[in-house]
Amino acid sequence: MTVVTGANSGIGRATALHLAESGHTVYGTVRSTSRAGKLIDGAEALGVTVELVELDIASDHSVRDGFAEIYERAGHIDHLVNNAGVGGNGVVEETSPERFLEVFNVDLCGAVRCAQAVLPRMRAHGGGTIVNVSSVVGRFGAVAQAPYVAAKWALEGVSEQLALELAPFGIRVAIIEPGITKSSIFGKNLDLPDTSGAYSPAYDRMLQLYAAGRIHATDAIEVARVVRHAIESGDPTLRYPVSWGSKEIIEGRRKLSDADWLALGATDSIEGYIAAFREAFAVDLST
């Protein structure tokens, strides 16, 4: 049995439906079942069932109660897909510590809460899978998205550690690293807290990435297929880059010297930045 958090939209919905269609028994967590109409309609259209559970990953007691309900209804959990998350825009200087903590509480601590809810029984059972949906920004510094970058880098580190800790118990950990994917996050992540005006070029670069992403964004079903592969594969790996720009950016950043990375940041025009980004990562941000 598989639990998918944040199953109401985007990657979560695509994953829940794809796994259900592939024969998995799926429980999808949503903050409100009254807002899960698209998930329910999608399941009906495919002739499958996704069991719904109300759960807010930002809340200790909600996670505790939600997983208790799942165990009561299903009896066991074989696979957990930690998908639920939020974005977070802002440069470091102008982002409050409180805002960092808000994003961390969801994107990092939410995944930790859910993992802690299932691991005792997975260890007792001698197996299972924890799939953490990270992001390409967990591997490179995306300008003007400091809270999101920080939370996803932290999730990458915790996931690596978790993989080491769980290896003796036969529990698999997989890190999914989507690039730009068709998702409601575009509509939910439009804040531009450019309070001083000093960092307007950074926000312009972020918006250019979003604009190019809207044109090239990969359908969420592609991420869902990778999640399924990570769960079912007999030859698993730790990390799975997927979607537009992910593999190219991750590989490009690995090859790029720190000096060249800083030079990219110092580029003095949006046209120059687009050209430098293309050269460094083989990803075209022009629109």
Note the pLDDT of residue 14: 98
Give the catalytic positions in this structure: 148
Strand 50-54: give its sheet, edge to edge: 50-54, 26-30, 2-4, 79-82, 128-133, 171-178, 239-242
Q: Residue 235 has what DSSP assignment?
A: S
2-199+217-245: CATH topology = Rossmann fold (3.40.50)
Model confidence, pTM: 0.96
How does DSSP classify residue 35? G
User: Which residue reads 């118990």 in tokens?
Assistant: 169
Q: Which residues in 197-234 are b (16+ Cβ under 10 Å) and which e?
A: eebebbbbbbebbbebbeeebbebebbbbbbbbbbeee
Condensed to tens digits (0 to 9), the pLDDT of residues 9-45 reads 999 999 999 999 999 999 999 999 999 999 999 999 9
Range picked from 176-190, 193-207, 241-255 for highest mean pLDDT: 241-255
CA-based end-to-end distance of the chain: 43
Q: What is the mean pLDDT of residues 229-251?
A: 97
Residue 186 has pLDDT above 80, yes or no: no
User: What is the rounded distance in angstroms from the CA atom of residue 152 to the CA atom of residue 108?
Assistant: 7
Report the share of the chain in percent with pLDDT over 90: 94
Give CA–CA dist 152/103, Å, rounded.
Answer: 10
Tokens of 268: 């003095």
Place of tokens 């980004």: 277
Please report which residue ranges of 130-245 form alpha helices under DSSP H.
146-166, 185-188, 200-216, 220-232
The 10s digit of each residue's pLDDT in 54-101 is: 999 999 999 999 999 999 999 999 999 999 999 999 999 999 999 999
Q: Where are the chain's structural domains?
A: 2-199+217-245
Mean confidence (pLDDT) of the chain: 95
Q: At what angle do helices 220-232 and 10-21 cross, to 10 degrees?
A: 50
